[in-house]
Amino acid sequence: MIKKYLVVGSLFIGSFYSLYSQADRDGFFGFFGSGPGVEPVRNAVYLEECGSCHFAYQPGLLPSRSWIRMFSQKELTNHFEEDITFDDKALETQLLDYLTMHAAEKSSFKRSRKIMRSLPYNASPLRTSDTPYLRRKHGEIPKNLITQPDVGSIANCEACHRTATEGVYEEDQIRIPNAGFFNYDDD
């Protein structure tokens, strides 16, 4: 009888393992997620080049197709109204390689996986705030709390997410400036 359960259990686990995406092939337990947030940025070149102008958004907040689109010549010459064309193509390639290798669809982190599930298969948003998952998560926040001077916009992750640089966006780490108590539902 025990043999029967072992065989059935093994078949179930084997079937389960074969059904998840190639992005999760970093180990069976990667299917369940490596962590609650997104993989933190640990690339010094990315922190220097991109993080010197704005928050260094974790690659796991967008799919690789978004990062590729962002590094297209059209988008680099008008990167949110700034021309950030790289003179050093090797540097540009190094940055894009980092971003695409750590993009949301290749991540086993919980929030990256949720972002990917929320996106249509061909969507390539340039802003993290344009992903359906993050729009939903921020949808209940009153606009005046977002546009206030201490925040400015949804793009200012660190204003409310005190552990954003570590890739942690959990409910107990959120402090919206000047909001008093605001229950931010985190799943």
Q: Which tens digit of pLDDT belongs to each residue from 28-47?
A: 444 555 677 999 999 999 99
The answer, yes or no, to whether residue 24 has pLDDT greater than 50, is no
What's the whole-number mean pLDDT along residues 82-96? 93
pLDDT-wise least confident of 18-22, 69-73, 128-132, 139-143: 18-22
The answer, yes or no, to whether residue 89 has pLDDT greater than 90, is yes
Residue that the structure tokens 């249509």 belong to: 120
CA atoms of 65 and 154, how far apart (whole Å)? 22
DSSP secondary-structure letter at 12? H
pLDDT confidence of residue 5: 61
For 107-138, how does the pLDDT look when each residue is reduced to its tens digit (9 = 90+)? 999 999 999 999 999 999 999 999 999 999 99
Q: How much is the pTM?
A: 0.78
Phi, then psi, of 174 in degrees rounded to 5: -90, 130
69 neighbors 97 (Cβ within 8 angstroms): no
Q: Calculate the alpha carbon distances from 101 to 35, 62, 165, 171 in Å.
A: 18, 11, 19, 28
pLDDT-wise least confident of 22-26, 58-62, 84-88: 22-26
pLDDT confidence of residue 85: 87
pLDDT confidence of residue 4: 65
Go through 85-101 and write b for each residue having 16 or more CB atoms within 10 A of its CB, e for each that does not.
eeeeeeebebbbebbbe
128 neighbors 59 (Cβ within 8 angstroms): no
For 53-65, how does the pLDDT look when each residue is reduced to its tens digit (9 = 90+)? 999 999 999 999 9
pLDDT confidence of residue 168: 95
The answer, yes or no, to whether residue 21 has pLDDT greater than 80, is no
pLDDT confidence of residue 2: 76
- Give bridge partners of residue 174 from the DSSP assignment: 161
pLDDT confidence of residue 171: 85
Residue that the structure tokens 């043999």 belong to: 3
pLDDT confidence of residue 36: 78
pLDDT confidence of residue 187: 44
